[in-house]
């Protein structure tokens, strides 16, 4: 199930699924550690003796962000309850605090008591072993902890005029009009001895009050409010996160004293300010495209760790059959996202990523498959041993594209003091590796894994990326006065391009081939499969986008990789088997991917000669907008017949592709004007 609403501040990431249940809770790094492990944190509503959890299919849900901000705007209604709930959620932009406001409206002609229940299914640090949950009476809150990971759940009821009754005085040191503390609680055992958890205890509207549990535990807290006929009342909930008891109680105290509304308001204002700092002139673009551009930037930010790691996706539902996810920093994905952030003006986030890569670079000068958000080496399926000898388990584009993106950053911002230490730490050693790691016969890169991580050989995409990385390094070397080094890099880049022309341009196909690889007898074999990744040949600057060979290749991509259903969109390559829906290869070569469709839109923008030409780009940009979730979340791919999101959602690369393509469209418009 997609993650419709990711909310975060670069340290704490909370993501809601389509049923409006918390399914991901990462801290202290985005993507590491997942304290929910994909298990739902349920929420339920009790009124008039009826109870329904939010995963009940009869709920009417509208899950969106408030306009241009990382605060949710959610509407909930259930036909059996005769209630409406308007909800706002935010992870505070600075503190590790999740705040939620529930405005509950009672349309009935009589007063009613409404109770909200919040369930916590923690798997602290990614497992359920040795957790503790307990009721803390002084603060009327429930705490979960294990080691240096603490979580405090609390909330408040907001009183309207007349609710308090005569003689009522507010509690000291509490924001006016709030009654703070959980009304009901239960701590219990789950997932062992056939116990499902304390959420079952809530279904009669009354929790047991059990005060402590340890091991594999969960908890549930409840709040109640009396709502007169035709009126609305508000319940707040918050979850404080920190390394110890003192830190979470400090956040709890802040929420009580300042009031939770202040955190919602300031977070709303902060993200408006963040967008306005680099808002481009979007006049002339359709309203939906403008909204999607700004929302994509916000969603990208939720997937970027404050330490510089750019996460591919944080959707544990995609956990593979070997129990692994996309919650890692791939240098290639990160470079392309950093490039989008640079284009959009958010150079500080890009800088942190380049520094992250400099720390991760191996002594030999290459970046490995993927990394954890804290910079340590992540899991990998690339072997170090192949055909009886040691092999380097890399995707070479991951090293090369970091150099390319870094030069594009420097050319745009000219931040010499930032770049200077990276020259020796990252640029020179990585470029030396790229120049060295080549086939002496062809001048092409030695074989490595492709960007789709499915095949091993010499790819058109990879060759273009390595050419771009060496060209970028040559530019840096000239800027730093090392002309001999720059000459070596340019010579290597020239040999790469000559090798590509000789081996990957196929006159018999009238286009470039995807890949060549060594057969068992040592000869080169050609994989002529049409692959959308051939866009790298012009995207990274090796060829101009209107070069006849590029035009021929892009026309083939447009004609043969377009999904010929009502959904449309561009597939990755012919007969793509990943999450394959249809065997009708002639009409559905694969599922439509956002990035592949946006690549075609970007090419149309780059080659447009008239305003009429540019409409082809805009039509594809709008294709992506129309297939986003109502919240603006873009998945990796969509179902070729139903439009339903497939694979991870959101995919950071999809949102970066949207930002990059809109920027290309705006540049094309300026050029044509």
277 assigned to some structural domain: no
Lowest mean pLDDT among 66-80, 328-342, 377-391: 377-391
CA distance to 22, 43, 116, 211, 241, per residue, from 143 (Å):
17, 18, 18, 10, 10
Rg from Cα positions in the chain: 27
Residues 439 and 457: beta-carbon distance below 8 Å:
no
How many CB atoms sit inside 10 A of residue 613's CB?
14
* pLDDT recorded at residue 195: 86
602 assigned to some structural domain: no
183 assigned to some structural domain: yes
99 assigned to some structural domain: yes
The stretch 330-344 carries a mean pLDDT of 98
The stretch 163-175 carries a mean pLDDT of 75
Most distant CA pair in the chain, distance: 93
* pLDDT recorded at residue 323: 77
Q: What is the CATH number of the domain that holds 162?
A: 2.70.98.10
pLDDT in tens, 185-228: 999 999 988 889 999 999 999 999 999 999 999 999 999 999 99
The count of domains in the chain is 1
Average pLDDT, the chain: 96
Cα–Cα distance measured from residue 560 to residue 364, given in angstroms and rounded to the nearest whole number: 40
* pLDDT recorded at residue 640: 97
Residues 308 and 347: beta-carbon distance below 8 Å:
no
The stretch 112-117 carries a mean pLDDT of 97
* pLDDT recorded at residue 171: 77
pLDDT in tens, 557-598: 999 999 999 999 999 999 999 999 999 999 999 999 999 999
Residues 98 and 70: beta-carbon distance below 8 Å:
no
Residue 371 — very low, low, confident or very high, per pLDDT cuts 50/70/90?
very high
pLDDT in tens, 597-627: 999 999 999 999 999 999 999 999 999 999 9
Residue 197, domain extent: 3-271
pLDDT in tens, 282-329: 988 999 999 999 999 999 999 999 999 999 999 988 865 567 899 999
How many CB atoms sit inside 10 A of residue 84's CB?
16
The stretch 518-522 carries a mean pLDDT of 86
230 assigned to some structural domain: yes
pLDDT in tens, 130-166: 999 999 999 999 999 999 999 999 999 998 877 876 6
* pLDDT recorded at residue 331: 98
**3-state SS, residue 220:** strand
* pLDDT recorded at residue 479: 96
430 assigned to some structural domain: no
pLDDT in tens, 427-450: 999 999 999 999 999 999 999 999
* Residue 518 pLDDT > 80: yes
Residue 168 — very low, low, confident or very high, per pLDDT cuts 50/70/90?
low
* pLDDT recorded at residue 239: 98
The stretch 259-273 carries a mean pLDDT of 98
* pLDDT recorded at residue 319: 67
* pLDDT recorded at residue 322: 64
Residues 218 and 122: beta-carbon distance below 8 Å:
yes
* pLDDT recorded at residue 166: 66
* pLDDT recorded at residue 442: 96
611 assigned to some structural domain: no
* pLDDT recorded at residue 520: 84
597 assigned to some structural domain: no
């Amino acid at each position: 199930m997609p993650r419709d609403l990711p909310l975060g501040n670069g340290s704490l990431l909370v993501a809601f699924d389509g049923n409006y249940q918390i399914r991901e809770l990462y801290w202290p790094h985005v993507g590491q550690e997942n304290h929910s492990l994909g298990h739902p944190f349920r929420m339920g509503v009790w009124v008039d003796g009826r109870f329904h959890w939010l995963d009940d299919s009869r709920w009417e849900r509208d899950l969106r962000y408030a306009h241009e901000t990382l605060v949710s705007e959610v509407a909930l209604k259930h036909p059996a309850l005769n209630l409406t709930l308007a909800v706002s959620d935010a992870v505070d932009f600075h503190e590790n605090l999740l705040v939620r406001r529930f405005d509950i409206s009672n349309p009935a002609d009589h007063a009613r008591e409404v109770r909200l229940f919040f369930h916590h299914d923690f798997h602290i640090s990614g497992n359920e072993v040795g957790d503790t949950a307990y009721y803390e009476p002084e603060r009327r809150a429930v705490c979960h902890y294990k080691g240096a990971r603490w979580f405090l759940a609390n909330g408040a009821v907001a009183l309207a005029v007349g609710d308090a009754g005569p003689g009522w005085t507010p509690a000291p040191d509490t924001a006016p009009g709030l009654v703070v503390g959980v009304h009901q609680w239960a701590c219990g055992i789950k997932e062992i001895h056939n116990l499902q958890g304390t959420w079952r205890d809530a279904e009669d509207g009354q929790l047991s009050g059990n005060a402590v549990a340890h091991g594999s535990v969960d908890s549930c807290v409840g709040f109640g409010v009396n709502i007169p006929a035709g009126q609305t009342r508000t319940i707040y909930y918050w979850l404080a996160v920190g390394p110890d008891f003192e830190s979470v109680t400090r956040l709890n105290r802040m929420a009580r004293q300042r009031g939770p509304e202040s955190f919602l308001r300031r977070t709303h204002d902060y993200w408006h300010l963040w967008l306005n700092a680099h808002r481009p002139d979007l006049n002339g673009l359709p309203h939906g495209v403008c909204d999607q551009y700004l929302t994509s930037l916000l969603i990208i930010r939720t997937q970027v760790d404050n330490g510089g790691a750019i996460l591919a996706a944080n959707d544990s539902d995609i956990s593979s059959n070997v129990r692994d996810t996309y919650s890692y920093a791939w240098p290639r994905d990160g470079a392309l996202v950093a490039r989008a952030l640079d284009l959009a003006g958010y150079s500080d986030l890009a800088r942190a990523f380049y520094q992250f890569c400099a720390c991760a670079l191996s002594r030999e000068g290459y970046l490995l498959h993927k990394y954890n958000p804290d910079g340590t080496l992540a899991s990998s399926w690339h072997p170090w041993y192949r055909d009886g000898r040691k092999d380097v388990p890399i995707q070479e584009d991951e090293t090369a594209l970091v150099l390319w993106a870094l030069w594009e950053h420097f050319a745009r911002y000219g931040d010499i003091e930032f770049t200077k230490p990276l020259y020796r730490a990252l640029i020179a050693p990585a470029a030396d590796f790229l120049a060295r790691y080549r086939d002496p016969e062809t001048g092409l890169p030695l074989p490595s894994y492709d960007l789709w991580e499915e095949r091993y050989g010499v790819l058109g995409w990879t060759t273009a990326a390595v050419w771009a990385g060496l060209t970028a390094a040559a530019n840096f070397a000239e800027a730093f006065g090392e002309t001999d080094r720059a000459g070596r890099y340019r010579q290597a880049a020239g040999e790469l391009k000559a090798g590509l022309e000789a081996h990957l341009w196929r006159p018999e196909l009238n286009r470039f081939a995807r890949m060549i690889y060594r057969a068992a007898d040592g000869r080169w074999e050609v994989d002529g499969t049409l692959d959308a990744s051939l866009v790298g040949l012009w995207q990274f600057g090796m060829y101009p986008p209107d070069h006849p060979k590029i035009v021929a290749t892009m026309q083939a991509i447009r004609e043969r990789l377009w999904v010929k259903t009502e959904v449309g969109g561009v597939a990755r390559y012919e007969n793509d088997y990943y999450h394959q829906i249809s065997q009708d290869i002639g009409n559905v070569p694969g599922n439509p991917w956002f990035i592949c469709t946006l690549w075609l839109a970007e090419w149309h923008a780059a080659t447009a000669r008239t305003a009429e030409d540019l409409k082809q780009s805009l039509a594809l940009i709008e294709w992506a907008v129309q297939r986003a979730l109502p919240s603006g979340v873009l998945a990796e791919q969509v179902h070729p017949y139903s439009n339903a999101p497939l694979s991870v959602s959101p995919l950071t690369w999809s949102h970066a592709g949207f930002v990059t393509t809109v920027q290309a469209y705006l540049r094309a418009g300026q050029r044509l004007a």
